[in-house]
Chains A and B, each alone.
Chain A
Amino acid sequence: MKRANKLYWILPLLLVSFLSSCKKDTDFIYGVTDVNVQKPDANKPNVKTTFTFISIAYSDLFGANISQTQLVEIQTAYVAFGDQRLIEQMIIKNFLNDGGADIPTQTEMSANVQQFIKDSYVKFFNRLPNEFELWHIENEVAGDNTITPELVYFAMMTSNEYRYY
């Protein structure tokens, strides 16, 4: 009789234990967005080919695809000199001097320097600037009214990061 009473207690405990062990883990959400932390230059291990560099530079500045004739002309000049960085600078200078290049005005840049920097980073580096980059370049641009959008574009398009994808 005593043994039967003990079983009445044990059975419900086993049942509760079994049910709780099959319960799924609860995902707690604390309202914080997951962020992958990596250096800003991560995931750009490849150097652009001459063809890619010219095509991308053209479309970045003119918002259109470069014509085949122009591509061949520029590519020929590009490979005809051994210091490609020097030739890239010359190519970009020619693009910047073309009236068809889509470059913000000084007024547009000054109206919202942060936005200009963000837009430029996305346009040329395919990413947003990190907080330090944003702060530093904003300081440079806002603190010196002789820095024009052309100068910022020229710096970005002749930087190391622009040569990689």
Chain B
Amino acid sequence: MQRRGFIKKAALATAGAFAAPYILPSGRLFAATGSRIANHVVMCLFAGGVRNFESMQKAEGNLMPFSLTGNESINPQIIGGMDALPTPTGQRLQQQGTLFKEFRFNLGPTGHFSGHSTALTGQYNLADINIKQRPAYPTLFEYYRKHNSPSMSALNAWWVANALGPYPALNFSQYPGYGAEFGANFIQPGSIISVPGYNALGDPKSFSTTELDKVKNLRQFMDNNFSSNYTPGDAGITNNEADALQIENYINNAFDEAVAGQYDDPWGVGNSMNGDMYNVFFAEQIIKEFKPELTVVNMQDIDVCHANFTGYCNNIRKADYALWHLWQTIQATPGMANDTILIAVPEHGRNETPNTIVDAYGKYALDHTSDEVSRQIFCLVVGPPDKVVQNRVVSTVTGESIDTVPTIAKILGFQNDIPGGMLSGTSLDQAFV
């Protein structure tokens, strides 16, 4: 009797287990997968190590007037070190979205690469980091290209970095089953659209389409005879033929425009244009050209703070202006306007205690060596009013660096397709309507 009862219960439990996932409170039989909040995401790593004292708490005045409300004047002690920038008009970015003022970089070393890697993989680096190796866990780009349905070409995923060094390695990981096949197009514009870049690539032999077809035939024959040693992904990510041609044309056009002087002062800010602003400018060009679904761009000039606190404050202002300019470009780009969510987040903060270097304005410099203050950052989510909660400020400790990957996965609708256990962060649902 007991045995029969057990079998009956087990059978009911099994039937329930099969049926339960399909019966939703809404009455629908199947859960909708792939529903998106928006069709484009731009993540801007407001990086280089920004301390909440200078950003959110405005200890030196409002250094981010394009992003943050408030007219706190800049500390007179450092005002002489501030370059001229346009005056903000209209709504600040925080009014066009949700600001998490007490975001955290909770674990791992507060190093630039560690912070970038965390933001792009959704995993803290708790083991030793080998900056010569690709990340151990899949990147945001790989999750997107592998799990988004339909799968998108690499033309839809861009990683625009301000520097070389280890940063080119962040466009795909070494994780089994992911890798180059699902990676993003990486570009470090400052090294390509430059005089040395022009010398290397700027004067190509032109081939007609017919000629390129003949080259393709010959090459295909040769490649077919060279198969046993060939490893896919040996040359990084591979764009398909049509996309590669588009990218090559884009680079060649950029050379032409640079030679014509169009990049000398593209935002009309004169000598105030720094490397971060140029990097964002090139990201804007990519956005206008390709309208990618997923773009990540970073800024790091803020890191001058190791030796120059006033320069750091000045570069926070420039990064703030660049972020605002990026948003204006997105809103002025057909296909991206009103369908893009912008996420801005530093990779980590800076120490509470300064080092011994004093700048020309008498201010002590700051490093970032994993103290509690260097883990305090912010996260700003900006988007159209029908997608992102407007003018919300979350002042309690909410969200952490590993949350941006699941948040973007949710925005683009592939969060549920990522295998369970791959990500430990959660999406920043408070930001969305």
Q: With an 8 A cutoff between CB atoms, is A122 at the interface?
A: no
- Minimum CB–CB distance for B315 against chain A, Å: 22
CB of A154 within 8 A of CB of B230, answer no
Q: A40-B226, A88-B235, A147-B214 are in contact. Are A137 and B221 (CB under 8 A)?
A: yes
CB of B215 within 8 A of CB of A79, answer no
CB of A77 within 8 A of CB of B222, answer no
Complex Cα gap A77–B191 (Å) = 6
Interface digits, A137-161 against B, CB 8 Å rule (1 contact, 0 not)?
Answer: 1001000101110111011101111
Complex Cα gap A146–B186 (Å) = 36
| Interface-lining segment among A6-14, A16-24, A27-35, A89-97 | A89-97
Interface size class of B (residues with CB under 8 A): 35 or more
B192, B216, B229: the one within 8 Å of A81 (CB): B192
Q: With an 8 A cutoff between CB atoms, is B247 at the interface?
A: yes
Q: Which residue of B lies closest to A121 (CB)?
A: B222
Interface digits, B197-227 against A, CB 8 Å rule (1 contact, 0 not)?
Answer: 1011111110100110011111101110111
- Residues of chain B with a CB closer than 8 A to A113's CB: none
- Residues of chain B with a CB closer than 8 A to A76's CB: 164, 191, 196-197, 200
CB of B244 within 8 A of CB of A86, answer yes
Q: With an 8 A cutoff between CB atoms, is B231 at the interface?
A: yes
Number of A-B contacts (CB under 8 A): 163
Q: A73-B200, A89-B248 are in contact. Are A160 and B230 (CB under 8 A)?
A: yes
CB of A77 within 8 A of CB of B207, answer no
CB of B192 within 8 A of CB of A140, answer no
CB of A85 within 8 A of CB of B205, answer no
Complex Cα gap A72–B205 (Å) = 21
CB of B200 within 8 A of CB of A85, answer no
Main secondary structure of the interface of A (DSSP, over half): helix
CB of A94 within 8 A of CB of B214, answer no
B217, B221, B229: the one within 8 Å of A44 (CB): B229
- Residues of chain B with a CB closer than 8 A to A88's CB: 235
- Minimum CB–CB distance for A123 against chain B, Å: 14
Q: With an 8 A cutoff between CB atoms, is A128 at the interface?
A: no
CB of B200 within 8 A of CB of A91, answer yes
Q: With an 8 A cutoff between CB atoms, is B237 at the interface?
A: yes
Q: Which residues from chain B sit less than 8 Å from chain A, CB to CB?
A: 154, 159, 164, 168, 171, 183-192, 196-197, 199-205, 207, 210-211, 214-219, 221-223, 225-231, 234-239, 244, 247-248, 251
Q: Which residues from chain A sit less than 8 Å from chain B, CB to CB?
A: 39-42, 44-45, 47, 70, 72-74, 76-91, 93-94, 96-98, 133, 136-137, 140, 144, 146-148, 150-152, 154-156, 158-161, 163-164
**Sampled A-B contacts (9; CB under 8 Å):** A41-B230, A83-B185, A83-B238, A137-B221, A144-B214, A146-B210, A147-B214, A147-B218, A154-B205
